[in-house]
Amino acid sequence: MAASTLQLVELVLHGAAFLCGIASAAALTVAQGEFGGQCILYGSVSWNGTTLVPKAFSHLSLCYFISGVSIVVALYCFASLLYGIFGCCTGETHWDRSWLRITLVVTIIILFFLLISACILRVGMDVLCASIMETKGVSSCWDAQHSPWALYSPIHFYSNLSSAQSSAWVTVFLWCLLTARRLLQRHREHRIPLLGSNGAE
């Protein structure tokens, strides 16, 4: 019963991480679309007296990196979800020790890239909002959504960026739980041969 419960928890975590990854990539892409496809993270803004004017954008590769990481993780979670459902249906739940080691390494690598992308989103938003606040044209970054912009009409950019950031950090949290699950599974697999050898003696 304990093993099936852990498998069910793992399926739920993979499903939630899949949804969060898609949500993060989609929200960031929509925010880019509001600025003509430009990456507004780490951008700077000025005030010409009546409208907010974007002065500088980040390189597109920055936003593409974040979206790419989110999509790759979402696809990995979807594949793991399908494999987990197949394993539960067929009863093939045993992991080979070498395969378990590879999966643990992949999980840790993914967690590393998720942390990087989430931090880029957080700091990039802080830099953008600090630039908006320095213009003295609006009282908050949220109010900038309802203020006139030159050349663009980003009426939901802050909401979309906030959604992308929240989804990214939730994905990091879920992936920490998945990493802990992998470590626990590896620990249990490592103890089984030891218990078997002690019994033989």
Tokens of 99: 């395969």
pLDDT tens digits for range 2-54: 446 777 888 899 999 999 999 999 999 999 999 999 999 999 999 988 899 99
pLDDT of residue 190: 61
Whether the CA torsion 186, 187, 190, 191 is positive or negative: it is negative
Residue type, 23: A
User: Would you kindly state where each structural domain of the chain is located, as residue ranges?
Assistant: 2-192
pLDDT band of residue 199 (cuts 50, 70, 90) is very low
Tokens of 106: 């992949």
pLDDT tens digits for range 84-128: 888 777 766 555 566 778 888 899 999 999 999 999 999 999 999
| Whether 86 contacts 133, CB under 8 Å | no
Helix (H, G, I), strand (E, B) or coil at 42: strand
pTM for the model? 0.85
Residues in the chain: 201
Mean pLDDT of the chain: 86
Q: At what angle do helices 2-34 and 60-90 cross, to 10 degrees?
A: 150
Helix (H, G, I), strand (E, B) or coil at 150: coil
Q: Which of 134, 196, 130, 160 is nearest to 35 (CA)?
A: 160
